[in-house]
């Protein structure tokens, strides 16, 4: 089974918080991460024929099927991890246009509310193997 790859905004404090939480909840050690500006991400953009500015917050790719973004990406992550946070999967029954609108609102406000780092933060040492450069 291939790893689930999460491409995320490494400058976003909110995003980094959730990446670190997902590392803790990934009991199967199947999730890998890379920031949207990494060499790995650039290769992904080329492979998928994407402009690197198309998405600015999260992309999830299982390395088998097409990548997913916005709320669907979040639901894919929730299905993969362990813990109480899975309760939020209940929202996956709502219409995609509604959950994507909520996702886009949070993404739009993330820098205003949670700030932005000048550089991407480094992962904790015990999770370093989960991060692609």
Question: pLDDT tens digits for 79-122?
Answer: 999 889 999 999 999 999 999 999 999 999 988 888 787 767 77
**pLDDT at residue 51 tops 90:** no
- pLDDT tens-digit readout, 67-76: 999 999 999 9
pLDDT at position 5 is 97
CA nearest neighbour of 15 among 89, 93, 77: 77
pTM across the whole model: 0.90
d(CA 65, CA 48): 11
Determine the pLDDT at residue 127.
Answer: 92
Answer left, alpha or beta for residue 25, where phi above 0 means left and psi between -120 and 50 means alpha: alpha
Residue 72 CA to residue 59 CA, distance in Å, equals 10
Rounded to a whole number of angstroms, the CA Rg of the chain reads: 14
């Amino acid at each position: 089974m291939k790893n689930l790859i999460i491409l995320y905004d490494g400058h976003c404090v909110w995003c980094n918080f959730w990446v670190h939480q997902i590392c803790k909840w990934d009991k199967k050690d199947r999730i890998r991460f890379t920031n949207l500006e990494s060499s790995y991400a650039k290769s992904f953009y080329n492979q998928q024929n994407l402009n690197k500015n198309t998405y600015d917050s999260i992309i999830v790719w299982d390395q088998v099927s097409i990548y997913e973004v916005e709320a669907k990406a979040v639901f894919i992550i929730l299905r993969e991890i362990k813990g109480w946070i899975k309760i939020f999967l209940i929202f996956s029954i709502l219409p995609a246009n509604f959950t994507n609108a909520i996702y886009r609102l949070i993404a739009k406000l993330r820098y205003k509310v949670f700030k932005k780092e000048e550089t991407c933060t480094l992962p904790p040492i015990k999770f370093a193997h989960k991060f692609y450069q």
